[in-house]
């Protein structure tokens, strides 16, 4: 069975470079689309062809469907890989791509729609036998907020039905707070996602964020590649991820993996996806499903030896999975530190020119980044500029390798979050793995 002749990469930065490298190893030609601000990006320079699709603003370039589709038509691309962010979970875009006779490297538009709405996703998972956080059955309003909050039980979390990344999320602990929390969450959701619908669920006090990587093909095969622990977060944005989770027992991960596999198989899911759970007191509660490759996918690749981006491409071309569930063996421990162009204390974005750049190396080290010495970090996009990923035979070895790598990593000319990671890797709670999703914000509040 053939692969694609040419893939258009509808993204930027390190994920665009990651996709390009996978394509090159599969002997597939590449097209890089870019804004005027990204003409000097590394993946643009390395691609077989490049097309400028608009000015720096995302809405006029990376989010402009017509420009991306025109670029695909002009260059003769027979597939589009959306990466993560931008249009990766836009069902309309996926449908338009397919209607133009081009393959969308991702799940079906139907599955994107199903999982894109948090209420629909939750109902679907209940029907598939996946445990969920107790909450409302549909959207909640200021008129019924108090009634629902008392049914669910305080504290409650109000969340946008569309979107993610912590936008449109508010916590309420009493009747006095809940109406305003619903109103504020709705306004924030409208501003960020164009949809002011919110729903409510019980707020767990000290959960961990555990997610399961899944892959399915068009031949009915599904598999999960184990879990990732993404509990170290600031304002619902992940900062540090690791695999496997130091909090789970083998019995717990096996049980959750079995439940997830059954659900994904019943859905008939195609491509890579991630089911995200809250884990507290030995119980798992489904939060949402991301129907795309995740930022933190490298830690899974490091402990399984499976190239997830290549697998996405192969599955989209109609090939069966290159492995079965029985083939998956978790080996060692992997940790990812997200390196952002931000002040490590205030987290204020720090765009500008990188005057010196040196990456760490050695056994078990991987750096996913699109930046280089002399690169100018633009102010228009997400501030993540690199991911430091390490692998060790044990978690302790991986932690030591993180410390050593951070000491070698040099990025001058701008501020980065490398100093924060240097502090985290030596913290006793981090060393022991004793943390939850609120740990980092509490730690930062103490340090302030």
For the domain that residue 158 is a member of, what is the CATH number? Answer: 3.30.1490.20
Start-to-end CA span in the chain (Å): 58
Residues 235 and 342 in one domain: yes
Residue 335 parent element (H or E): strand 333-340
Alpha helix (H) ranges present in 327-438?
395-408, 418-425, 428-432
H helices present in 117-276, as ranges:
118-127, 145-152, 175-193, 250-267
What is residue 165's predicted lDDT score, i.e. its pLDDT?
Answer: 67
CATH number of 46's domain? 3.40.50.20
Nearest CA-CA partner of 90 in 118, 61, 111, 121: 111
- Whether 124 is in a domain gets the answer no
Confirm whether 400 is domain-assigned: yes
Q: Number of structural domains, the chain?
A: 3
Distance CA(79)–CA(219), nearest Å, equals 20
Does residue 114 fall inside a structural domain? no
Tell me which of 88, 118, 142 is where a domain ends.
88
Q: Are residues 198 and 223 in the same domain?
A: no
Tell whether 178 and 215 lie within a shared domain. no
Domain that holds residue 46: 6-88
In this structure, are 197 and 341 located in the same domain?
A: no
Q: Choose one of 187, 202, 217: the last residue of a domain.
A: 202
Catalytic residue (one of 12, 253, 270, 292): 292
Domain-embedded: residue 103: no
Reported as type and span, the H/E element at residue 394 is none
Planar angle of CA 127, 181, 117, nearest 5 degrees: 30
> Is 107 inside any structural domain?
no
pLDDT less than 50: residues of the chain: none
**Tens digits of per-residue pLDDT, 359-403?**
999 999 999 999 999 999 999 999 999 999 999 999 999 999 999
> Do both 196 and 239 map to the same domain?
no
CATH value at residue 324: 3.30.470.20
355 and 257 belong to one structural domain: yes
**11 lies in some domain:** yes
Task: Identify which of 305, 316, 258, 266 has the alpha carbon closest to the alpha carbon of residue 284.
Answer: 258
Same domain, 234 and 359: yes
Helices (H), 338-417: 395-408
CB 213 within 8 A of CB 274: yes
Examine residue 14 and state whether it is found in any structural domain, yes or no.
Answer: yes
Please check whether residue 418 lies inside any domain of the structure.
yes
Same domain assignment for residues 311 and 343: yes
Shared domain check, 212 and 151? no
Is 292 tagged catalytic?
Answer: yes
Asked if 251 and 320 sit in the same domain, the reply is yes
Q: What is the pLDDT of residue 193?
A: 87
Say how far apart CA 239 and CA 247 lie, in whole Å. 18
What stretches of 82-165 adopt beta strand conformation (E)? 103-104, 156-160
The answer on 438 and 308 residing in a single domain is yes
The pTM for the full model equals 0.91
Residues 383 and 368 occupy one common structural domain: yes
Give pLDDT tens digits for 255-276. Answer: 999 999 999 999 999 999 999 9
Q: Which of 156, 176, 202 is the last residue of a domain?
A: 202
Q: What is the mean pLDDT of the chain?
A: 96
Q: How much is the pLDDT for 448?
A: 75
Q: How far is CA 274 from CA 65, 242, 269, 290, 324, in A?
A: 25, 15, 11, 5, 18
């Amino acid at each position: 069975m053939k692969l694609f002749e040419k893939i258009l990469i509808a993204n930027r930065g390190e994920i665009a470079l990651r996709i390009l490298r996978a394509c090159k190893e599969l002997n597939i030609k590449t097209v890089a689309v870019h804004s005027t601000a990204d003409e000097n990006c590394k993946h643009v320079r390395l691609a077989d062809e490049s097309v400028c699709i608009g000015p720096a603003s995302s809405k006029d370039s990376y989010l402009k469907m017509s420009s991306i589709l025109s670029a695909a038509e002009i260059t003769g691309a027979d597939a589009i890989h959306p990466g993560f962010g931008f249009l990766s979970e836009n069902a309309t875009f996926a449908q338009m791509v397919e209607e133009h006779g081009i393959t969308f490297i991702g799940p079906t538009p139907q599955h994107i729609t199903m999982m894109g709405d948090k209420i629909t996703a939750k109902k679907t998972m209940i029907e598939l036998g996946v445990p969920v956080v107790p909450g409302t059955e549909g959207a909640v309003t200021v008129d019924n907020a108090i009634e629902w909050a008392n049914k669910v039980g305080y504290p409650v979390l109000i969340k946008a039905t569309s979107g993610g990344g912590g936008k449109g999320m508010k916590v309420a602990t009493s009747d006095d707070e809940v109406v305003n929390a619903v109103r504020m969450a709705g306004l924030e959701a409208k501003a960020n996602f164009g949809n002011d619908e919110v729903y409510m669920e019980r707020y767990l006090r000290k959960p961990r964020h555990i997610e399961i990587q899944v892959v399915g093909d068009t031949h009915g095969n599904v598999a999960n590649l184990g879990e990732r622990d993404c509990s170290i977060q600031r304002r619902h944005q992940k900062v540090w991820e690791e695999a496997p989770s130091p909090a789970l027992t083998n019995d717990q991960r096996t049980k959750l993996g079995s439940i997830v596999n059954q659900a994904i198989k019943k859905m008939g899911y195609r491509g890579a996806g991630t089911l995200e759970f809250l884990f507290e007191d030995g119980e798992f509660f489904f939060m949402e499903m991301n129907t795309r490759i995740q930022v933190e996918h490298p830690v899974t690749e490091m402990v399984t030896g499976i190239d997830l981006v290549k697998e996405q491409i192969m599955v989209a071309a109609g090939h069966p999975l290159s492995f079965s569930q029985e083939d998956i063996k978790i080996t060692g421990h992997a940790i990812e530190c997200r390196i952002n162009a931000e002040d490590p204390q205030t987290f204020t974005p720090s765009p500008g020119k990188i005057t010196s750049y040196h990456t760490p190396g050695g056994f078990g080290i991987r750096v996913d980044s699109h930046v280089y010495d002399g690169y100018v970090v633009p102010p228009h996009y997400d501030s993540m500029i690199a991911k430091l990923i390490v692998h060790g035979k044990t978690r302790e070895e991986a932690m030591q390798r993180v410390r050593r790598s951070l000491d070698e990593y040099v990025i001058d000319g701008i501020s980065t979050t490398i100093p924060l990671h240097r502090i985290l890797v030596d913290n006793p709670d981090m060393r022991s793995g004793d943390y939850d999703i609120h740990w980092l914000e509490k730690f930062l509040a103490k340090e302030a």
